[in-house]
Structure 1
Amino acid sequence: MQKGSLENHLFRKNVQPIAWATRVNISVGVAKGLAFLHSLNANVIFRDLKASNILLDSDFNAKLSDFGLARDGPTGDNTHVSTRVIGTQGYAAPEYVATGHLTPRSDVYSFGVVLLELLTGKRAVEDARPGLSEETLVDWAMPFLSDSRRVLRIMDTRLGGQYSKKGAQAAAALALQCLNSDPKIRPPMVDVVATLEGLQSSNTFQRTPKYANATKHSCHSLT
């Protein structure tokens, strides 16, 4: 893919920051990919969703890559697939790590982490500083996600404030739902797609800069 991975654009130094509207578009593309995999026709659990497995084309359309860890979803009366725990720290759902029970809602949790990365510009797990214990992005962000007024404090500073407050709060609320400790309460990906498309369609600008600093006067209102 022409633009490489989402990981490179979010976390590499000396790379232009992705604009808010483009981040929303990327999240929609990823959500649609997972929704298709979870559909009855496919019935696949991706199992290793992370920023490095999301590739971007020249227009920043997102595609899932690396299906090496994907598994067929549960069938019949089965509610989950039992498997050896394999995945990436910081992205894997806690119930999957604890029990090896894999469900489509495990992917929903991982999507919530990716959505947090898009909001904050921070990695799922940051390298621990000397003398400090490692902290996941979810642990760090959770106190802010539960308060719509505080959530703006964790937004990626590289956006330069060029984002809709209401849109950011709505995306953060969705991330909080996806990250619920009870997998049964997490929304299915089709519902996630619908929520994100609502943010996407509220973009009233026809031309969307791909980078946050493309122009100081192109703050896209995604409400």
Structure 2
Amino acid sequence: MASADEDRATEQPGLRERKKRQTRAALSQAAIRLCVLRGWADVTIEQIAAEAGVSVRTFRNYFTGKAEAIAAGHVERMLRVADELLARPAGEPLWDSLLHAVLGQFVPAGAAAAPAPHHDRWREGVRLMLTEPALAGEIVKANAAAQQALAGAVARRTGTDAEHDLYPKLVAAAVAAGTAVAVEHSLRAEETAPLGAVLAQVFAQLSAGLPVP
């Protein structure tokens, strides 16, 4: 029988990893929030660290700058999508499970209740932030990491191999592209397009095999 010390040694790496993930997420959320509300040029690493309640040294232990911190938010969100996918009922159709998992992270409960003026300001801030050239390369890297994580979850869910089988990689790429298109469409639509409704439309078309309109 394992001793208490051995049990703690087994649990500790998982606990440390969770705490690191929480710190990364807090820093990324702080960077996004400040850059959206204040503008890219008016936000410093010192302000981001203070907003997240950590030191600048801690920030630099995780990220090289604002762009990497912001892009990391996408990876973290897709990691949570992967976690939610694996938690969905085993008998649920894959694309239904994926839609529920994505909506849970991209349209959290209560998001639609935000006042319209605040929502409009946030949309405009996100739109401006995403035009920053410094973000482009980091977003490409974040997308690759996000797809890899999601492909692993799809493989576990479908009994396929994330490294050698094409299917989980294709599904992950389709989900990543579909969510990106939905977010862009929602942000850039002339009239407010609720993200949840756009995501539902995207996944309906993906699950149907993208029939020609």
TM range (shorter): under 0.3
Higher strand share: 1
TM-score, normalisation: structure 2: 0.28
TM-score, normalisation: structure 1: 0.27
Structure number with larger C-alpha Rg? 2
